[in-house]
Structure 1
C-alpha cells in the first residue's frame, strides 16, 4: 500500500459546523445520559424533515427495526419479507424475534425490491395460511423503493409496510421524504451515513401510539411506578443527549450533503460513463436518490479489469472502495431461507463496486480516483 498519499475513505463523517455548539449546550445542561432536551429537539427536527408526525431517537437503525417488528406483533414462526440486497442489520431483527426472513430479489430498474416478486411471495404465503406479518424493503444506496406499488400489494391483505430508510435520509419518493407513506420507517446515523450522530437511529411514524410504545420499550419497558416494575421485556435502545446534539447539527446540512453527493455521482458518471464496460446505478423516475454511495457496474471482459481488481488497485493507493452488498440469500447464516428470484442481486453483487463518496472530497481527490480506475482498464 502506498503511504505517500492521504487516505480517501468510502464515506467518512463530515461535520456541518454547529455540532460542537449543540454538544456544548448538552454539557452545560448536564444532560449527558440518555434523554434530554437535545433528544427532544432532534426528534422534532427529524419530524420536520421527513413529514412524519412522531419520531423516537434510538441507539441504531437496527434497534429501530427491532422495535417496529415488535410493535406490529411479530412472533416466533412468523414470516417477514425483506429485500435480499441489503446490509444484515435490515434483516437480523427478524431473527431476534424468532421469525423467518423471506428474501425478495431486486429489479434492474431501481436495484430495490422487485414488486412483482413481492406479489408472488405474498400470494404464496397467504395460500399456505401464513400471511406475512410485515414487509421491509430497503432503500438501497439512497434510492427509495417503490412504496406506492408495494402498498398496492400489501394493503388488500392489511400487511404492514416498514421501510428501511437507513441509507436514504434526504432522498425523495414522488416529492415526499424517504420512508413517508409507510406505517413506520427506520433511519440510521451510523458514522458512514449521509449524516451521522456518531451512531444512532430513529423510528418514525404518523401513529402516536406506536412511537410512544417504541419509546417505552426502548427504556426497558418500565411501568409508571416509583420503583422498577416490568410486565414486559424491554431494551436499552434510547439515544443519548450528547449523540442527539451531534445529530441536530447534522440535520441542518442535509440539503447540502445531498447536493454534494449527487455532484460526486455526476462527476464519476461524466468521467467514467464513456469507458467500455462501466455503467452506473440508475435513478428511478419516481424519485430523487441521495446518492449516499456512487456505485458502478463493471463488465470485466469489456473494461479489462474486474470490480475486485479495481478495488485492490485503489487500496494499494490508499483509497477505500467496497463491493456491493452480498445478497442475504447468499449469506451462510441464511442458507436455508427462502428467496424469490435471486439472479439480479447476485449479478449486482458480482459486478458492483461502491466508490468513495465522502462529501468533503476535493476535486483533486476525485481526479485521483478516476485516473486510477481508468488505468485499470484496457
Structure 2
C-alpha cells in the first residue's frame, strides 16, 4: 500500500480526534468535581459527540457533496473550536454547545476519513483504515498521560486536554487549504438511493455493539480505577492508559492479524473473546496493577472490532461509499449516545462496579452474533456440492 501525503494527513486528522475522545474520558472525574455533576449528567458531554455522529449519519452525504474539498478542513476547525468552547465555556449551556460542536467536527472526520481512504487505496482501504485507527489510538494513549501529568503539576486539566489537539489541528488546517488537498471520495449518485443490503444492516448492528463497548470503557475506566480501585484522580487518568495502549498496539497489528486469521469473521470472534477475558481480569482482580493489565488485554481485543467491522460494512455497500460511511457514523452515534450515558446512569443508581458489567454483556452479545454467523457460513459451505 502506498502511503501518500494525503493518506498521512488523514491519519493525523483522525489522531486529533482520538486524542480528544480519550481526553474526554480522562477529564470526566475533574469535570464532575469542578461542576458538581452526577455521572449521568457528566456523560452528556461525550454525548455531544454522539449527537454529531447522528447528524452526520443523517445528512452527511449531502454535506460532503456541498463542501467538497473543504469538508475535511471544516471538520477540523469545528473539532478545535468545540474543544475550546467546552474548556472555557462559562456555564453548562456554553460547554454543552462546545461538546456538540466538537461532536459535529469529530463525526465528520469519522465519515470522511474512512471513505476517502477506501476510495484512495486499491485494497478497499481495510489496511489504511486500520492504520488510521492505529494513529488515532496512539494519540489517545498520549491524552491520559498528558492530562495526568498536568494534573500532577497542578496546571489544571485544560492545558492537557486543549493544547495538543488544537495545535495539531491548526497545523493541518494550514496544509489542508481547500484546493490543495482535493477530496478523493467519488460521487455517490445516490440522491434516491435504495435500501442498504442485508449484509450491511447486519454489520451495522455489530458496529453499534463494538463502538458501545469501546466508548463505555474509554469514558469510564478512569472513574472505575478512581472509585473502585482507590487510585487518585491523576493516577487513575494515567492508569486508564492501559486501555488505549492496548487499542494502539492492537490496531497497529491489524493488517498482520487479518493476514494471520485469513478470515475477518474468525478474527472478530477471537478478538471479542480476548476482550471479554481481559475485562474479567480488569473488573474482578482487586490489585490495581493486575487490573491495568486486564485493561490492556481488553483494549487489545476491542481494538480490532471497529476497523474490521467498519471495513466489512463499507465493502458490503460498495455502490454507495459516502452513504455507507454516513450510516456507519450513525451507528457510532447511536452507540456513543446510548452506551456511556446508560452506564453512567446505572452507576448513579447501583455503583460503578455493578454498572460496568454493561460492557462485557455487550461483548457477549457481539460474540454470540459472530459465532452464529460463522456457524451458518460453515454449514452453507458444507452443504455445497463438491
TM-score (normalised: structure 1) = 0.29
Greater fraction of residues in helix: 2
TM-score (normalised: structure 2) = 0.29
Larger Cα-atom Rg: 1
